[in-house]
Structure 1
Amino acid sequence: MRVIGVNEFGGPDVLQIVEKPEPHAGPGEVRIAVTAVAVSPTDTMSRAGQGAPMAGPPYVVGMDAAGVVDEVGEGSPFAVGDEVMAITIPAGEHGGAYASFVVGPWQSMSRIPTGSSLEEASTLPMNGLTAVQALEKLALPAGATIAVTGAAGALGGYVVQLAKAAGLTVIADSSPSDEALVAGFGADVVVGRGDDVATRILQAAPEGVDAVVDTALQMSQVTSAVKPGGAFVSFRGWEGDGTPGVRFLTVRVAEEYRSHEKLDALRQAASDGVVTLRVAGVLPAAEAAEAHRRLEAGGSRGRFVLTF
């Protein structure tokens, strides 16, 4: 099969087409003939050698795939021909998503949202499950106030939309050009982004917020916005700066590899318009390096998608 692999870590140009033996579905597993994979910042980190150790070379990155089931192992509820989306774990047994075939446990998959394309569906699994885990760890009651940094991004947008669906009051940051976008996600208050975003959050919520979900990775720049006894959700392993009275929580989406019920709930949320699937651009898999360059250049809204 064809994969987009990395033989040595580095910049976008290390990505290349590599042939590998086709994998096959074992008991409880499903094989997807991949149509689309989403490109995320996690992929660029893995490509540069900054992610979890992967089997290889060639190293195959990517955490989101969508396509058509073409093999099913015993015990799978899926059938050949089903259109599905899946979360993949590059450091796991089956490797990453940048491949013409992906195999995984059926619990890592769901049917695609009603009315969505495979390209759109590929943008949901990893970021959607990350947002779900963040909100589950917070376990805030309806009416609580949450601040979201990086709200215009793929992950931030999902957090805002799912938080609103859970009955939370949302303060979200934005650049001037993205204010309408972020407000459209349902944010109750939109504040300017930047190094002093905590000050603007506190202007909107003088006593502090019940929680911050820091998808922009601003870390210590935002901890002062949390009220005493509140919580701060971080990513990429940051465990906090010791701010007194703040509960620090870290999201690790690899823990959601077999979270079929959560992924299926996200499918329903997308089908119902609760969350919005956003594609920044579609490129053939052979142009993976260009997709990585565009993502790293910044300014994209939604995910670039590679097609096989």
Structure 2
Amino acid sequence: MKAAQFSRFGGPEVLEIVDLPDPHPAPGQIRIVVHAAGINATDCKLRSGLLSFGAGLPQTTGRDVAGIVDELGEGVTDVAIGERVFGVSDDGAGAAELALLTYRAPIPPPLGFVDAAGLPVALETATRSLDQLGVGRGTRLLINGAAGGIGSTAVQLAIARGARVIGTASVANHGYLRLFGAEPATYGEGMSERVRALAPDGLDAALDVAGSGVLAELIDLAGGPENVVTLADFDGAKQHGVRFSSGFQGHAFHALGEIGALIAAGRFWLPVERTYPLDEIAKAHRISEHGHVRGRLVLVIG
């Protein structure tokens, strides 16, 4: 099969398309013919060497995938060959013609492969973060960096739980956040004052998606470090006593199978901004790292 791989750490130029042996599922796994694969910030950090899960070189890449089941591992009874599924590729090898999945769910009927491939990591990460913060009905929540894939996912999931959401973003993205039901505030100097003007009675929780060095402000706005979770500022989390969440460690996946009802009700939508063929994965990584992307970037493979 053809797959994206890198043999050294570095910029997007280290990615190459190679021929690898076809994988086969172990017990509990399924294999899919990949039709689309999402691009995530984690993929870029692993490729650059800024993040490591202990894997050596060369490494494959890609976690979000959607496709059609074509092989079942021993003991798998929840899906059938020919079924459309989406999920998280085992071993981060989703940018390929074939992928193995343990954590998966049927694609909700309203979605095609491209839209489904943009969801899994953002959906699971946002869900776990809201769980950690105890977000529910009546929660006053600030999301720093609300216009990206994880941010806009968290906005919609929090509102579906009955929370009031203020989201920071550039002025150009304020209308976009209003579409999801959030109250926008501009980030940068004076952010705290702008947020307080919207919520003079204070906030209950804050989620930092952007990692823009504002944890001290979020702690002050949310009433203490215990009310703040960051997905992007590991050093700041240690410095300020804030919880850092990768979104995955120590949790069982559960959001994939629950999102269909919100989609069917018209209460969840995560736009795909651009698509690329597999052989343009380096371009997609470059845009992911340096562009101001709303929604998701997705590779179209099959």
TM above 0.5, yes or no, is: yes
Return the match for 2:178 from 180, 183, 187.
Answer: 183
Q: Which amino acid aligns with 1:34?
A: V
1:297-308 equivalent positions in 2, closer than 5 A: 297-308=290-301
> For residues 264 and 118 of structure 1, what CA distance do their matches in structure 2 show?
16
Say yes or no: does 1:78 pair with 2:79: yes
Residue 232 of structure 1: aligned partner: 228
1:49–1:135 CA distance, 2 compared to 1 (3 A): same
What per-residue deviation string (whole Å, max 9, x for no partner) do you get for residues 241-268 of structure 1? 665xxx7322222337751x32100233
Residue 127 of structure 1: aligned partner: 122
Unpaired runs of 5+ residues, structure 2, are none
> For residues 307 and 56 of structure 1, what CA distance do their matches in structure 2 show?
27
What per-residue deviation string (whole Å, max 9, x for no partner) do you get for residues 24-59 of structure 1? 012211001111111121111111011223534321
Q: Which amino acid aligns with 1:148?
A: I
Return the match for 1:292 from 277, 282, 285.
Answer: 285
Residue 220 of structure 1: aligned partner: 216
How far the C-alpha of 1:210 sits from its partner, in A, is 0.6
1:117–1:84 CA distance, 2 compared to 1 (3 A): same
Q: TM-score, normalised by structure 2?
A: 0.91
Residue 270 of structure 1: aligned partner: 263
Whether contact under 8 Å (1:146, 1:209) holds in the other structure is yes
Say yes or no: does 1:142 pair with 2:137: yes
What per-residue deviation string (whole Å, max 9, x for no partner) do you get for residues 86-113 of structure 1? 1135xxxx343112111122xx001112
1:7–1:257 CA distance, 2 compared to 1 (3 A): farther
How far the C-alpha of 1:139 sits from its partner, in A, is 1.3
What per-residue deviation string (whole Å, max 9, x for no partner) do you get for residues 108-165 of structure 1? 0011122111011001100100010011111134112000111111111011111111
Aligned Cα RMSD in Å? 2.0
* Identity in percent: 32
Q: TM-score, normalised by structure 1?
A: 0.89
> For residues 177 and 296 of structure 1, what CA distance do their matches in structure 2 show?
19
1:194-205 equivalent positions in 2, closer than 5 A: 194-205=188-199
Whether contact under 8 Å (1:84, 1:110) holds in the other structure is yes
Say yes or no: does 1:153 pair with 2:148: yes
How far the C-alpha of 1:172 sits from its partner, in A, is 1.2
> For residues 205 and 120 of structure 1, what CA distance do their matches in structure 2 show?
34
Whether contact under 8 Å (2:135, 2:158) holds in the other structure is no
Q: Which amino acid aligns with 1:252?
A: S
Whether contact under 8 Å (2:72, 2:81) holds in the other structure is yes
Whether contact under 8 Å (1:281, 1:304) holds in the other structure is yes
> For residues 87 and 133 of structure 1, what CA distance do their matches in structure 2 show?
15
1:27-106 equivalent positions in 2, closer than 5 A: 27-76=27-76, 77-88=78-89, 94-105=91-102
Aligned pair count?
Answer: 297
> For residues 219 and 288 of structure 2, what CA distance do their matches in structure 1 show?
27
Q: Which amino acid aligns with 2:96?
A: A
What per-residue deviation string (whole Å, max 9, x for no partner) do you get for residues 262-291 of structure 1? 210023323332221211111100000111
Q: Which amino acid aligns with 2:145?
A: G
Whether contact under 8 Å (2:129, 2:247) holds in the other structure is no
How far the C-alpha of 1:300 sits from its partner, in A, is 1.9
